[in-house]
A and B are shown apart, each in its own frame.
Chain A
């Protein structure tokens, strides 16, 4: 299993199939922004995202979308505020903001959001 720092430093990819995104690290999600949908309810009754906690990675299903690649342009990101597994969720400094970009061959680029990307936590 990789840490988020390793993923970003080594520029490791996630993957996207249909409405499913696989991320090569484990984390607690706090907020997800996809297009104009702001998702903060990750309970089982929520229709936004289903999170499946796999052994070594994170599996996300965006239930309102059939194919994410049909919805997001090459320049649009899925933005996530998260806390890496094992880190204190109540420590504000552990809240990290990442942006996911869908690229070719189902690959998902994972970047820490820079100053140009608007993302208000």
Chain B
């Protein structure tokens, strides 16, 4: 642990040593723009830090002011960075690359969000510890097929409904731990950071092949602890709808087809299948066109009664879209500088460093950019460029444990706080819309994540990433 803090501290201290426009030396590989001859001034990391700090504090300390202004702030900070790159560094490539990646990212999230909002699942069985464990396990598995966002949106309402007579905050907290975060660690569809890795060249099935054993242990431990919590809940579920004919009813089942289309579309990429035409210089491809089309069609054909029952609102996806355009643009300098720094400090960077560093930052910052930052750092250690798919593939063959540590750290630690991963806040918000008093930001951490998650994550470090 000391090593981790040492590296983090020296990294941030060393940032100040750079001067504007320092020439990229022989041993420097930038994360973006292969042809770029200049590193950005470290001060340009500030818009990224400011934006992440505002995202962390805004919804908690000045909610309504933040709600009214977050989109302006995000775009303004993003444009500031764009202006710097184009105006001062004359570097279009880095900006173009980020915009392309953003469009892919938002296309996936939007299509999953819209398709899941048009489906209503009704469960008509009594909640009990065993059924809840099976439900959460099911959620953990399908979050790899429809994303943690899709699975959270789809399953939180039935989960609340089946537990309505015995509702206590721990039920929602474990839902966030298992379905909104840890569960989705097996495929690039599962969690946004893994999708970003896929876009950069990590093979689709690499994650499940390399993370499955870690996933199994984490999910088993979480479900076991949940079971003990749930056993102590003495309130019994009473209500089962008298009209219910089946234990599970799905309304809007046609939208499950849309999920299948979205998943298939993930592979519609010239890098995966060479016969797929590239639409370059447009900043999107056929995959993104398919995903956005699915989003529009699923909403246009949705049953209004289902939308009403799901209390459908564009606000969550609008928020993600606005915030992430800011994040993707402002994080360009951070990516480039981290790649450079990791070469300087490469001898200190171990798998444990990457596991804890990615995890620590993913707990408070969004885990998608954190994953990219540390992937960039790990590749920089070997003189490789995160922007080149061939380099990413080569990096995996060098030593897969680094990418495994980063993947696990980014996905798992997203559960540590409400702000660690997008679905956490959505689930909290839906639960509160249902009238459930959720724990505050700090209570969540102190009472649940530090006492339950941290010991599990420490055990995982001990078993897999101690080196």
Contact with B along A85-121 (1 / 0, CB 8 A): 0000000000000000100000000000001111111
Within 8 Å by CB of B312, from A33, A75, A101, A120, lies: A75
Residue A56 CB within 8 A of the other chain? no
Are B311 and A38 closer than 8 Å at their CB atoms? no
Are A75 and B310 closer than 8 Å at their CB atoms? yes
Contacts of B430 in A (CB 8 A): 118
* Given the contacts A38-B437, A73-B314, A118 and B304 also touching, CB distance less than 8 Å: no
Within 8 Å by CB of A75, from B308, B432, B436, B437, lies: B308
| A-B interface contact total, Cβ < 8 Å | 63
- Min Cβ gap A42→B in Å is 16
Docked CA distance A35–B426 (Å): 11
Within 8 Å by CB of A64, from B64, B160, B241, B310, lies: B64
Docked CA distance A47–B437 (Å): 18
Contacts of B309 in A (CB 8 A): 116-117
Docked CA distance A115–B120 (Å): 12
Contacts of B434 in A (CB 8 A): 33, 118-120
Please report which residues of chain A, range 52-103, place their CB below 8 angstroms from some CB of chain B when the two chains form the complex: 64-65, 72-73, 75-77, 79, 101
Number of A interface residues in the complex (CB < 8 A): 22
Docked CA distance A78–B110 (Å): 25
Contacts of B73 in A (CB 8 A): none
Secondary structure dominating the interface of B? helix
Docked CA distance A101–B313 (Å): 13
Please report which residues of chain B, range 148-189, place their CB below 8 angstroms from some CB of chain A when the two chains form the complex: 157, 160-161, 164, 167
- Min Cβ gap A82→B in Å is 13
Are A38 and B307 closer than 8 Å at their CB atoms? no
Contacts of B87 in A (CB 8 A): none
Contacts of B429 in A (CB 8 A): 35-36
Please report which residues of chain B, range 249-291, place their CB below 8 angstroms from some CB of chain A when the two chains form the complex: none
* Chain B residues touching A, range: 20 to 34
Within 8 Å by CB of B433, from A35, A64, A65, A116, lies: A35
Residue B343 CB within 8 A of the other chain? no
Are A120 and B436 closer than 8 Å at their CB atoms? yes
Are B315 and A73 closer than 8 Å at their CB atoms? yes
Docked CA distance A116–B305 (Å): 9
Are B312 and A119 closer than 8 Å at their CB atoms? no
Are A75 and B311 closer than 8 Å at their CB atoms? yes
Docked CA distance A75–B414 (Å): 30
Are B435 and A121 closer than 8 Å at their CB atoms? yes
Are B312 and A118 closer than 8 Å at their CB atoms? no
Residue on B with the closest CB to A72? B313
Secondary structure dominating the interface of A? loop
Contacts of A36 in B (CB 8 A): 428-429, 432-433
Are A73 and B164 closer than 8 Å at their CB atoms? no
Residue from A65, A101, A117 having most chain B Cβ neighbours under 10 A: A117
Contacts of B64 in A (CB 8 A): 64-65
Are B241 and A118 closer than 8 Å at their CB atoms? no
Docked CA distance A64–B63 (Å): 10
Contact with B along A26-52 (1 / 0, CB 8 A): 000001010111100000000000000
* Given the contacts A64-B64, A73-B314, A75-B313, A120 and B160 also touching, CB distance less than 8 Å: yes
- Min Cβ gap B463→A in Å is 38
Are A120 and B311 closer than 8 Å at their CB atoms? no
Docked CA distance A73–B437 (Å): 23
Contacts of A33 in B (CB 8 A): 432-435
Please report which residues of chain B, range 425-462, place their CB below 8 angstroms from some CB of chain A when the two chains form the complex: 428-430, 432-437
Docked CA distance A35–B64 (Å): 12
Within 8 Å by CB of B164, from A38, A64, A65, A120, lies: A120
Docked CA distance A75–B306 (Å): 9
With A35-B433, A36-B428, A119-B434 given, can you name 4 additional A-B contacts, CB distance below 8 Å?
A: A33-B432, A75-B304, A115-B241, A120-B160
Counting from the closest, the 5 A-B pairs by CB-CB distance are A116-B309, A118-B434, A36-B432, A73-B313, A120-B435
Can you name 26 A-B residue pairings with CB atoms under 8 Å? A31-B435, A33-B432, A33-B433, A35-B429, A37-B432, A38-B435, A38-B437, A72-B313, A73-B311, A73-B312, A73-B314, A73-B315, A75-B310, A76-B311, A77-B311, A79-B433, A79-B435, A116-B305, A116-B308, A117-B309, A118-B157, A118-B160, A118-B433, A120-B434, A120-B436, A121-B435
